[in-house]
C-alpha cells in the first residue's frame, strides 16, 4: 500500500547508495536546499562499514524540476541513484479499481445458483418481465462513466487511454461517497454518432449513464440525443454537476452578503460546456441580470424572460459575431463574477469595477482567473475549483447524490427540477448561522451531503413524474 501522507503533486522518493563517511549526506541535503526541493522523510535501508543505502523523500516543483534534481544527485561524488519513484504513479500501479462478487463461490451448490443452471431461471423471469432486471441484477446500482478522452480535466484531448485513470478516480468517488457501482467506459472514437450508438448499445446493463470529459460542442448533441432515446438517466457531469454546486455556493454567498438572486448582476466568463450549463442553471433559479462572455466579449445578453425561454438550448442565444462589449464592460457594476475560462485574466483594477461586497468565483484550474492572494483584498467572497483554498466548488459534491437519488427511484431522466433540488440540498447542508465568507460550501467529506442530495433528488423526481419506483417505508424523510 502506498503511503499517502501530506499531499504534494510532485513528491519523489529516491533510493541512494552513499559512501559511509562523514559529510556525504550533507552534500545531498545541501543540493536539495539549493534546488529548493523540500526535504521530507529520510530512512536508512541498509548499512555496511563502507556503504549506506537511504530512501530520501522530497518535493519538487514539476516533472522537469524533478528530472533536474535527479540528474544532479547522480552526479555527486560517492552518491549513486539506485531508483526513483513518484508516489502518484505508485498509487496508480495496476489501476485503482477492481470487481468483487457479493457471494463467495465456495461450494458447487453456490456455483450452481450464481451461474448455470440456477441463473437460467432468473434470465427467463426477466425475459417475461424486463422491469425485473432492476430487482435481480446490478443494473439498479450501476452507472456507466462514458468518455472519449477529448477533454480530460483541463489538459485537453488526450485520448481514451489517458482518460482511463481519471475515469477510475471518478468510479472510486461514486463507490466511496454514494455506494454506487460505476464502470469506466473509454471509447476509441470521437464521432458523436458512434458515441451515441455505443452508449445506446450498452444501456441495458446500466441504471444510468454519466458522460465525462467530452469536449464542447459535441457534448451537447451527444447528451441531447441519448436523453431523447434512452429510458435511463443521462447526465454530462462536467456541465450539470458543476452548475449544481455553483448554484449552491452562490445561494449561500448571497445569504452572507445579504443580496437577492433576482437582483444581482452576474457575469459568466467562459461559455464552454460548464459555462453554458451554469448559465442555464442560474436562469432556471431566477437570475434576471446575466451576461455571458467568451474570448469575443459579451456574447450572451438580453431580457431575462428571453434568456430563460431558450435555456434548454442556450447556444441559440449566443451572438459570437455581434459581441456587445468586452469582459471589462460586463464587470462594471457586477455583483458576481463566475469564471470557467483560463487563468490570470483579471487584475485588481478589473475587480474594482464591480459593485461593493463583490463575489468572485474563479474556477479555472490549475490557475484561477485571478490569483487568490490578489482577490483576497479586492472581493468579499472568493471561491475556486482548487482544494488548497477555502470554498472549493467541486462537482464531486453533486454527482454522487444526484445519481444516488435517481437510481433509488429508478428515474427515467435527470431533469431541471432534480438539479435545482440538489443545489438547494447542498446549500442547506450548512446551517445559516455557520455561514461565513470562507465557508459557503460544505466539504466533500461531509457525510451528510450525499444522503441530503439523494433524498431531495428522489423527491423532485417523484413530483416531476419521472420516478418509476414508489416511496417505501424504508425511504429517508425528505428535505423540507
Q: Report the pLDDT value the prediction gives residue 479, as an integer from 0 to 100.
A: 38
Looking at residue 378, the DSSP 8-state letter turns out to be: T
Q: Report the pLDDT value the prediction gives residue 7, as an integer from 0 to 100.
A: 52
CA-based R_g, the chain, Å = 26
Contacts (Cβ under 8 Å, ≥6 apart) of 124: none
Is 404's pLDDT higher than 90?
A: yes
Give the mean pLDDT of 449-465: 96
Q: Report the pLDDT value the prediction gives residue 472, as an integer from 0 to 100.
A: 56
Which has the higher per-residue pLDDT, 34 or 3?
34
- Could you tell me the three cell numbers for 401? 447524490
Give the mean pLDDT of 239-260: 95
The Cα 212–Cα 174 span in angstroms is 13
Give the mean pLDDT of 384-402: 90
Quickly state the pLDDT bin for 480 (edges 50, 70, 90). very low
Say how many residues make up the chain: 480
Write out pLDDT tens, residues 149-163.
Answer: 999 887 889 999 999
The Cα 117–Cα 323 span in angstroms is 67
CATH of domain 11-92: 3.30.70.260
Q: Report the pLDDT value the prediction gives residue 272, as an integer from 0 to 100.
A: 84
Which has the higher per-residue pLDDT, 154 or 126?
126
Q: Report the pLDDT value the prediction gives residue 209, as an integer from 0 to 100.
A: 98
User: How high is the mean pLDDT of the chain?
Assistant: 90
Write out pLDDT tens, residues 24-35.
Answer: 999 999 999 999
The Cα 400–Cα 241 span in angstroms is 9
* Residues 44, 49, 51, 53, Cα dihedral to 10°: -10
Which has the higher per-residue pLDDT, 373 or 456?
456
Which ranges in the chain are annotated with CATH 3.30.70.260? Answer: 11-92
Which has the higher per-residue pLDDT, 281 or 302?
281
Instruction: Give pairs for 429-436: CB < 8 Å, separation 24+.
Output: 430/252, 432/255, 435/252, 435/255, 435/256, 436/256
The Cα 88–Cα 279 span in angstroms is 36
Quickly state the pLDDT bin for 428 (edges 50, 70, 90). very high
Architecture of domain 241-480: 3-Layer(aba) Sandwich (3.40)
Pairing type for strands 11-19 and 234-236 reads: unpaired
Query: Between vectors from CA 192 to CA 419 and to CA 281, what angle results, nearest 5°?
Result: 20
Q: Report the pLDDT value the prediction gives residue 410, as an integer from 0 to 100.
A: 96
Beta strands, E only, 324-377: 336-339, 359-362
Give the mean pLDDT of 362-380: 88
Query: Between vectors from CA 85 to CA 3 and to CA 213, what angle results, nearest 5°?
Result: 80
List the single range of 154-158, 238-242, 468-472 with lowest mean pLDDT: 468-472
Give the mean pLDDT of 400-424: 96
Give the mean pLDDT of 255-275: 93
The Cα 200–Cα 353 span in angstroms is 49
Give the mean pLDDT of 303-329: 79
Quickly state the pLDDT bin for 314 (edges 50, 70, 90). confident
Which ranges in the chain are annotated with CATH 3.40.50.10380? Answer: 137-232
Q: Are 151 and 215 in contact (CB under 8 A)?
A: yes
The Cα 466–Cα 50 span in angstroms is 74
pLDDT above 90 covers a percentage of the chain that reads 72
Architecture of domain 137-232: 3-Layer(aba) Sandwich (3.40)
Write out pLDDT tens, residues 73-116.
Answer: 999 999 999 999 888 888 888 888 888 889 999 999 999 999 99
Q: Report the pLDDT value the prediction gives residue 90, as an integer from 0 to 100.
A: 82
Write out pLDDT tens, residues 181-237.
Answer: 999 999 999 999 999 999 999 999 999 999 999 998 899 899 999 999 999 999 999
Catalytic residues: 115, 170
The Cα 202–Cα 196 span in angstroms is 10
The Cα 202–Cα 157 span in angstroms is 24
Is 378's pLDDT higher than 50?
A: yes
**Residue with C-alpha cell 422491469?**
131
Write out pLDDT tens, residues 35-48.
Answer: 999 998 899 999 99
Q: Report the pLDDT value the prediction gives residue 387, as an integer from 0 to 100.
A: 80
Whether the CA torsion 266, 269, 272, 275 is positive or negative: it is: negative
Is 126's pLDDT higher than 50?
A: yes
Which ranges in the chain are annotated with CATH 3.40.50.720? Answer: 241-480
pTM: 0.85
Amino acid at each position: 500500500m502506498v503511503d499517502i501522507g501530506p499531499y504534494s503533486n510532485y513528491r519523489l522518493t529516491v533510493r541512494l547508495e552513499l559512501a559511509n563517511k562523514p559529510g556525504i549526506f550533507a552534500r545531498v541535503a545541501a543540493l536539495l536546499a539549493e534546488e529548493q526541493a523540500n526535504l521530507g522523510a529520510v530512512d536508512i535501508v541498509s548499512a555496511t562499514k563502507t556503504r549506506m543505502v537511504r530512501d530520501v523523500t522530497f518535493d519538487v516543483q514539476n516533472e522537469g524540476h524533478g528530472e533536474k534534481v535527479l540528474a544532479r544527485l547522480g552526479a555527486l561524488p560517492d552518491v549513486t541513484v539506485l531508483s526513483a519513484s513518484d508516489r502518484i504513479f505508485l498509487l496508480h500501479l495496476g489501476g485503482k479499481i477492481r470487481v468483487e462478487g457479493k457471494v463467495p463461490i465456495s461450494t458447487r451448490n453456490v456455483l450452481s445458483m450464481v451461474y448455470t443452471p440456477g441463473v437460467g431461471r432468473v434470465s427467463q423471469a426477466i425475459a417475461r418481465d424486463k422491469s425485473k432486471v432492476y430487482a435481480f441484477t446490478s443494473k439498479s446500482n450501476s452507472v456507466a462513466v462514458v468518455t472519449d478522452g477529448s477533454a480530460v480535466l483541463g489538459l485537453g484531448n488526450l485520448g481514451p487511454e489517458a482518460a482511463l485513470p481519471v475515469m477510475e478516480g471518478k468510479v472510486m468517488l461514486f463507490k466511496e461517497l454514494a455506494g454506487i457501482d460505476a464502470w469506466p467506459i473509454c471509447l476509441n472514437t470521437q464521432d458523436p454518432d458512434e458515441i451515441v450508438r455505443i452508449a445506446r448499445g450498452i444501456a441495458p446493463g446500466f441504471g444510468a449513464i454519466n458522460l465525462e470529459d467530452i469536449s464542447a460542442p459535441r457534448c451537447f448533441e451527444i447528451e441531447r440525443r441519448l436523453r431523447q432515446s434512452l429510458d435511463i438517466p443521462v447526465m454530462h457531469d462536467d456541465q450539470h454537476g458543476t452548475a449544481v454546486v455553483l448554484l449552491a455556493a452562490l445561494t449561500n454567498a448571497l445569504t452572507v452578503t445579504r443580496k437577492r438572486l433576482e437582483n444581482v448582476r452576474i457575469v459568466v466568463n467562459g461559455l464552454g460546456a460548464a459555462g453554458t450549463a451554469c448559465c442555464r442553471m442560474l436562469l432556471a433559479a431566477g437570475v434576471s441580470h446575466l451576461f455571458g462572455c467568451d474570448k469575443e466579449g459579451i456574447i450572451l445578453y438580453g431580457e431575462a424572460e428571453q434568456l430563460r425561454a431558450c435555456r434548454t438550448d442556450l447556444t441559440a442565444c449566443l451572438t459570437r459575431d455581434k459581441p456587445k462589449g468586452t469582459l471589462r464592460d460586463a464587470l462594471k457594476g457586477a455583483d458576481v463574477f463566475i469564471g470557467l475560462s483560463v487563468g490570470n485574466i483579471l487584475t485588481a483594477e478589473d475587480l474594482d469595477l464591480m459593485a461593493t461586497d463583490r463575489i468572485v468565483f474563479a474556477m479555472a484550474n490549475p490557475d484561477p482567473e485571478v490569483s487568490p492572494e490578489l482577490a483576497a483584498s479586492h472581493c468579499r467572497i472568493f471561491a475556486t475549483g482548487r482544494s488548497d483554498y477555502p470554498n472549493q466548488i467541486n462537482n464531486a459534491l453533486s454527482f454522487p447524490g444526484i445519481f444516488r437519488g435517481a437510481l433509488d427511484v429508478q428515474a427515467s431522466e435527470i431533469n431541471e427540477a432534480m438539479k435545482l433540488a440538489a443545489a438547494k440540498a447542498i446549500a442547506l447542508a450548512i446551517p445559516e448561522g455557520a455561514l461565513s465568507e470562507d465557508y459557503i460550501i460544505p466539504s466533500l467529506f461531509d457525510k451528510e451531503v450525499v444522503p441530503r442530495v439523494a433524498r431531495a433528488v428522489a423527491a423532485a423526481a417523484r413530483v416531476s413524474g419521472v420516478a418509476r419506483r414508489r416511496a417505501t417505508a424504508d425511504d429517508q424523510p425528505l428535505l423540507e
